[in-house]
Amino acid sequence: MTTQNVVWPLSLLGIGAVTLVFVFVISQARIPATADETRHHTHTAHVIQAWFFGLLLAGFGLGTWLTLRHFPIPAQHTPLQADAVVDVEGFMWGWTMQPQTARAGQTVEFRVTSKDVNHDFAVYGPDGNLVAQTQAMPGFVNKLLVQFQQAGDYTVQCLEYCGVGHGFMKTTLTVSDREDN
Other residues' Cβ atoms within 10 Å of the Cβ of residue 162: 20
Other residues' Cβ atoms within 10 Å of the Cβ of residue 25: 9
Our finding on whether 131 is near Cu ion (CB under 5 A) is: no
Our finding on whether 166 is near Cu ion (CB under 5 A) is: yes
- The CB-of-158 to Cu ion minimum distance in angstroms stands at 3
Our finding on whether 132 is near Cu ion (CB under 5 A) is: no
3-class SS at 60?
A: helix
C-alpha 82, offset from chain centre: 23
Buried/exposed 38-76: b ≥16 CB within 10 Å, e otherwise: eeeeeeeeeeeeeeeeeeeeeeeeeeeeeeeeeeeebee
Nearer to Cu ion by Cβ, of 54 and 163: the residue is 163
- The CB-of-47 to Cu ion minimum distance in angstroms stands at 54
- The CB-of-159 to Cu ion minimum distance in angstroms stands at 7
Our finding on whether 162 is near Cu ion (CB under 5 A) is: yes
Q: Binding-site residue total for Cu ion (CB under 5 A)? A: 5
Pick the piece of the chain touching Cu ion (CB under 5 A) from 34-42, 128-136, 159-167, 171-179.
159-167
- Footprint of Cu ion on this chain (CB under 5 A)? 119, 158, 162, 166, 169
